[in-house]
Amino acid sequence: MGGTKTVAVFGASGYAGAELLRLLASHPKFEVVAATASSHEGMAVADLHPALAAAYPGLSFGPSEASVADGVDLVFCALPHGASQQLVPKLLENAGHIVDLAADFRLKDPGLYPIWYHEEHSCPELLEEAVYGLPELDREKLLGAKLVASPGCYVTAGSLALAPLVKAGAVASTGIIVDAASGVSGAGRKLAEGTQFCTVDEDFTAYALLSHRHTPEMEQAIGAQLLFTPHLAPMNRGILATCYARPVPDRRDDPLDVLGRAYAGEPFVVVSERLPSTKATLGSNAAHLTGRLDERTGWAVTICALDNLVKGAAGQAVQCANAVMGWPETTGLPVAGMAP
């Protein structure tokens, strides 16, 4: 699978789509040949995303139609939930590989979609075929995969922080709590009252209490039952997930040791006693983790910080695409954050 591969980015007008274009501009093996955005069809990419003007001086948005990707080696779908279900069956006929950033193919149980997404899945036969794309937890099936379902920011942060403890049998697989805060870009580019500047600025609030649609996906990835409460923080980027679990009786594993062993050698995961911060991961595909065991209360605590648009979206999708192609997962991806 060597050599340069052609790429189409569907949904390139959104934040995740723009981040994909930014990362792909410096990728040595991917060449972007098409970017779609039906709401901006015919508009120059540089006019909507001036930060990308030097990288894509002649590229314009095309329609989000499957024919745009005919013969393309790889398609990234950064579309709103539900849109990929309509496109992917057609894309699979003529495109080499697909990495979907939405939740359309992440859940293995089709019965969960009506409950959490309030609609039946339109092509449930593809759910089993889709490979879940969180490489640090399960990369074995990614090589050569036709369809990859790349998880988003909340699930990535919570899963990286908790899955090793559950897998090691260090904590109970019920009663887990995930409290996570996201920057406003996690809500997408679409204008909404809840994400306007005057609403978000100088505020910090929980939302989707007991009902966030990524809960079953997080449970699937971690292998445990949990209570997930998301929060909106007044910042552009970043996810900080603080997770709580009860150690298994007669077990007193140090969460920091468990995480360190699980991610030894992983280029994008930093495990340290340092307290993770969102700013430290800004612009990088890195996730920063720590863990503690509180002897006083008996709780195990793990924390994960990452950039919701990179490791939590576009960067992870590129990491998966690298794995699909059989290339080093670090190809074209930043491991260092931007500071100040």
Per-residue pLDDT tens digits for 99-119: 999 999 999 999 999 999 999
Render pLDDT for 251-260 as a digit per residue (tens, 0 to 9). Answer: 889 999 999 9
The rounded distance, in Å, linking the Cα atoms of 223 and 208 is: 22
Position 123 scores a pLDDT of 96
Position 126 scores a pLDDT of 97
The rounded distance, in Å, linking the Cα atoms of 230 and 186 is: 11
The rounded distance, in Å, linking the Cα atoms of 39 and 16 is: 16
**Structural domains of the chain, with CATH:** 5-150+312-325 (3.40.50.720), 153-307 (3.30.360.10)
pLDDT top residue among 1 and 102: 102
Render pLDDT for 224-265 as a digit per residue (tens, 0 to 9). Answer: 999 999 999 999 999 999 999 999 998 889 999 999 999 999
The rounded distance, in Å, linking the Cα atoms of 202 and 233 is: 9
Average pLDDT on 138-143 reads 95
Position 96 scores a pLDDT of 95
Identity of the amino acid at 177: I
pTM across the whole model: 0.96
Position 1 scores a pLDDT of 54
The rounded distance, in Å, linking the Cα atoms of 91 and 89 is: 6
304 catalytic? Reply is: no
The rounded distance, in Å, linking the Cα atoms of 245 and 272 is: 19
Cα 258 from chain centroid? Answer: 23
**Marked catalytic residue, from 77, 123, 153, 304:** 153
Q: How confident is the model at residue 300 (pLDDT cuts 50, 70, 90)?
A: very high
Residue of 55, 147, 151 lying closest to 103 (CA atoms): 151
Average pLDDT on 136-160 reads 97
